[in-house]
A and B are shown apart, each in its own frame.
Chain A
Amino acid sequence: MLDTDFFRRWMTAAADAVGREAGRLTELDSAIGDADHGINMQRGFTAVTAALEKDAPDTPGAVLTLSGRQLISTVGGASGPLYGTLLRRAGKALGDDPEVSPAQLGEALRAGIAAVAQLGGAKAGDKTMLDALEPAAAALDESFAAARAAAEEGALATVPMLARKGRASYLGERSIGHQDPGATSSALLIAALEEVAR
């Protein structure tokens, strides 16, 4: 079973990964976006770790909803409402249980992903974070390692895709050949999950 501390460590590991990879995320975003994904995600996750220390939420669901809320209020770009919705909706799906099973986490993530798809009007293949998150959530029932591998493969699979959403979609054909920054940060989030589950 996964307890509150597990979720807190997940968010902290995600914040570390985002901090470590901020430069790379911004570099990917400068090719097809507005070159702020790294700095935006870093700002958001810095606020997440600060809020988790200050408020000390006491259930897995509360850790995710608090984190999502921080992302919406501090990121400043589209990844704020998108990741914020992912975590808040997943947090709500987990409810008030003090411990949850990996299967419950998978269900909750799928609920969060559905909310993200609805918010952004995107689907798999549009060269967005969904291309990493959907295969990861599907593989989560197998193992955390499978989810990590699926997310990383999903992010790589965005390279030949044509962007259909967001700032990159204005580039049309020129978006082809670049890895999607959002799918890349999503893979970081899932990799952090696998790290803390080890």
Chain B
Amino acid sequence: MSAAGQVGIVLVSHSAQLAVSVAELARGLAGGAASVPLAPAGGLPDGGLGTSSELIAAAAREVDRGAGVAVLADLGSAVLTVKSLLAEGGELPEGTRLVDAPFVEGAVAAVVTAAAGGALDEVEAAAEEAYSYHKV
């Protein structure tokens, strides 16, 4: 892994709209994040609810700049599909990691950190830290 580019971020949801919206929200709240390679991978290729390994792999390739790719996923099959692609090897770009984080809060933290030039470890840590912010 080189420090050549920014960390890429992939948002995997059961819903295409949700993935796109969270990406927009994260970019919007992360001012100056226009340059962060960020791709939503939501729903099935036909637009239905579900998880598509092809959309995930395509999104990861699209955002890979050689500095690693942080993948955030919402629930169930989204998490399991990413894990099984990682376990298989060769399906996702070198340096792709599933980040253990809440989907919305984690995405915002990850994009802000990537925009600031953070390395993959820092992006991952920032996203995971979002779990420790309790609302009540």
Contacts and interface: CB of A to CB of B under 8 A. Distances in A.
Interface of A: 36, 40, 72-73, 76-82, 84-85, 88, 115, 119-120, 166-167
Given A76-B77, A167-B76, A81 B84 contact: yes
Interface in B61-88: 76-77, 80-81, 83-85, 87-88
Interface of B: 44, 48, 50-54, 76-77, 80-81, 83-85, 87-88
A76 B44 contact: yes
B76 A119 contact: no
Nearest to A115: B87
Contact of B54 (A40, A73, A81, A85): A73
A40 B77 CA distance: 12
Given A73-B53, A79-B77, A81-B80, 7 more contacts: A40-B50, A80-B77, A81-B53, A85-B84, A88-B88, A115-B87, A119-B83
A167 B80 CA distance: 13
Contact of A119 (B48, B52, B53, B80): B80
Nearest to A73: B53
Contact of B80 (A36, A40, A82, A88): A82
Contacts of A72: 53, 81, 84-85
A77 B77 CA distance: 5
Nearest to B88: A88
B114 to A, nearest CB: 27
6 nearest A-B residue pairs (beta carbon): A76-B50, A81-B84, A78-B77, A81-B80, A81-B81, A73-B53
Given A72-B53, A72-B81, A73-B54, A78 B76 contact: yes
A142 to B, nearest CB: 31
18 contacts: A40-B50, A72-B84, A73-B52, A73-B53, A73-B54, A77-B50, A77-B76, A77-B77, A78-B76, A78-B77, A78-B80, A79-B77, A80-B53, A80-B81, A84-B84, A119-B83, A119-B84, A166-B76
